[in-house]
Amino acid sequence: MATDMQLQLVAGLLRRGRLLDQLSTGLTLLALALGLAPLLSGQVNPASAVLCGLLVLLGLAQKYWAVRVALDAELFAQLAGQPEQLAEHTRQLDLALHSLGLQPANSVERPWAERCRGALRLLRLQVAWLAAQILLALAAVLAMPWLSLAG
């Protein structure tokens, strides 16, 4: 059975996903603005449009994982607040997941250590999508001077 401190630690780590999401949202909005700006002047650069489109798609993928991480962060924080009722709340959580179709009805109850690892795996996926977005943005910034010399 998970301890109160373990659940609080996982909830705290998952809450850091919000900061990652804010950074990704900023990059996504910047890419969207830069991608749409040439439409006002009528001079569309296909390479720039593709780059901005990829940045937006990476941002949307990150946003999907951020929503899942935020949900887990709220659940873990709530469960950590009442450790004496963890067994009953776990049963209620599994019933709710079954009734909403978010978990198969024939699934076996998972231990909290496994649930913690799964939640942290979601956070790592969120980080991976953000890292891909940042790397693409950095590559674009570093390549722009070279592309302007070539063109």
* pLDDT recorded at residue 15: 97
Question: Which one is predicted more confidently, 133 or 38?
Answer: 133
pLDDT (tens digit, 9 = 90+) per residue, 68-82? 999 999 999 999 888
- Domain locations in the chain as residue ranges: 4-150
CA distance 70 to 75: 9
Q: 60, 50 in Cβ contact below 8 A?
A: no
The reported pTM is 0.87
CA distance 58 to 118: 22
